[in-house]
Amino acid sequence: MKFYVTFPPGLEEVVKQELQNCYKVKIEKAERGRVYFRGSEKLIPDLNYWGRYWERVVWLLHKDEVKDLEEIYKKVRSIDFSFIKPNQSFAIRSKRFGEHDFTSMDIARVAGQAVIDSYLSSKNKRLEVNLDEPDVIVRVELIDNLLLVGIDTTGDDGLHKRGYRIYQHPAPLNPVIAASMVKISSWKINETLVDPMCGSGTILVEAAFIGKNIPPGHLRDFAYKKLFDMEPTQKKIREVDLNLIGIEKFKKHVEGCKKIVKNLGLDIKIFQGEAERMHEYVENVDVIVTNPPYGLRIGRKYITKKLYKDFLKEAYNILPSHGRIVFITPMKRFMRKIANKIGYDINKEIKIEYGKLPASIFLLKC
């Protein structure tokens, strides 16, 4: 079977490495924000249940060049949808990238009719359309002239919707990015990991999930269950004491973070304090992974630059020679300048699209 996974653009190497090392799939192509590969249908549950570093798993039915809506109809009409049960409903979820003289809604309308006509031809039954809660989601994406048609095995809620956020931070970090940052840091379970600007604790929770081998999808459901009678692989939870520490300036976020951690049954230490004074809360630190404020509002940039500078100086003074920092920010030029000035080695800079914001993930070494 052919598949592709989607994720925040920039994480291609993280995703490829995970797919090859943990799922033994054959990578066909990687492009910004998605990786195409071949594998068994038996992988579908695990790709969703254990998928830390991607947001969606799509079973790819058709990939071809098209010129217009008429060709889209013909390509979708040619697909055999007989795997859908007669009593099941479906919906088209369409996206369009590039310049076209039609809209995503036009694509959905044409593709939807093509699915209905294809099924009517093969099964002599008109499939029901349910736009709100479909049993089967057909993804139709047009990237310039490239048409992708597939079955969404994840569901309308992407895999970044883990299900553990009982407290909503005003600027939460995507858990897929958080988990990827932990992976980029090369953190080992016997090392102390600190997030000194932890917000609601997403980085720390994802580190705990990785360290204890907890499936990121254990609190949610998946669309593939409507089509495949398969269960994900159950792996033993790693019973290990992790040294994960969070520091957060604002009391309401500290309390919210503690609620999330307690609800998940994780042992993570959370302190109210300032990143620039880390030494007051932690003695030994091996790895720092953090998502600091971005200072995008008018008048905040100076304050944010001072925070970055003071925090990086503090970290440089307390990290050992093998210490690492992973840090995401849109203030790329300033970050390079201040990191070099303090004495860090900028080991990696990964350009990433966080929503519509161009940012970089930096890996700094002492």
Query: Taking 80 as the threshold, does the pLDDT of residue 297 lie above it?
Result: no
Instruction: Read off the pTM.
Output: 0.96
Cα angle 55-131-106, degrees, rounded to a multiple of 5: 90
Task: Indicate if 75 and 184 belong to the same structural domain.
Answer: no
Give the tens place of pLDDT for each residue, 299-312: 578 889 999 999 99
pLDDT value, residue 296: 66
The alpha carbon of residue 24 and the mean position of all alpha carbons in its chain are separated, in whole angstroms, by 20
Task: Indicate if 126 and 238 belong to the same structural domain.
Answer: no
Does residue 261 belong to any structural domain of this protein? yes
**329 within 8 A of 335, measured Cβ to Cβ:** yes
Domain harbouring 130, CATH code:
3.30.2130.30
Task: Indicate if 138 and 253 belong to the same structural domain.
Answer: no
Give the tens place of pLDDT for each residue, 210-258: 999 999 999 999 999 999 999 999 999 999 999 999 999 999 999 999 9
Does residue 163 belong to any structural domain of this protein? no
Q: Which domain holds residue 267?
A: 175-365
**226 within 8 A of 88, measured Cβ to Cβ:** yes
Task: Indicate if 183 and 147 belong to the same structural domain.
Answer: no
Give the tens place of pLDDT for each residue, 171-216: 999 999 999 999 999 999 999 999 999 999 999 999 999 999 999 9
The alpha carbon of residue 228 and the mean position of all alpha carbons in its chain are separated, in whole angstroms, by 24
Identity of residue 271: F
